[in-house]
Amino acid sequence: MKARIHVTLKSGVLDPQGKAIEHALSQLGFQGVDEARTGKVIELNLAESDPERAREQVDLMCRQLLANPVIENYDIELTT
């Protein structure tokens, strides 16, 4: 089973890289981008085949290491 974890910054947390991307897009002539926010994607290959248990494991991994709950949210996507 594979897990794909999207880690994003909480709203209200300053994202200077997002701001730089926003600025660069408008420099390139792309109009209408109100906001850009950055994040990261982490992919894991898991031995666990039960989706419920896999989600539990990955959730624990996110809380202990993969995301920092002070500044980040995470979202877990499981695929077989």
Q: Is 76 in contact with 17 (CB distance < 8 Å)? A: no
Contact with other proteins (CB under 8 A) among 26, 51, 53, 68 = 68
The 3-state DSSP class for residue 12 equals coil
Query: What is the torsional sign of CA 39, 66, 64, 51?
Result: positive
Q: Is 16 in the site for other proteins (CB under 8 A)?
A: yes
Q: Which is nearer to other proteins, 1 or 67 (CB)?
A: 67
Q: Is 27 in the site for other proteins (CB under 8 A)?
A: no
Q: What pairs with residue 77 in β-bridges?
A: 4
Q: Which residues bind other proteins (CB under 8 A)?
A: 12-14, 16-17, 20, 64-66, 68, 70-71
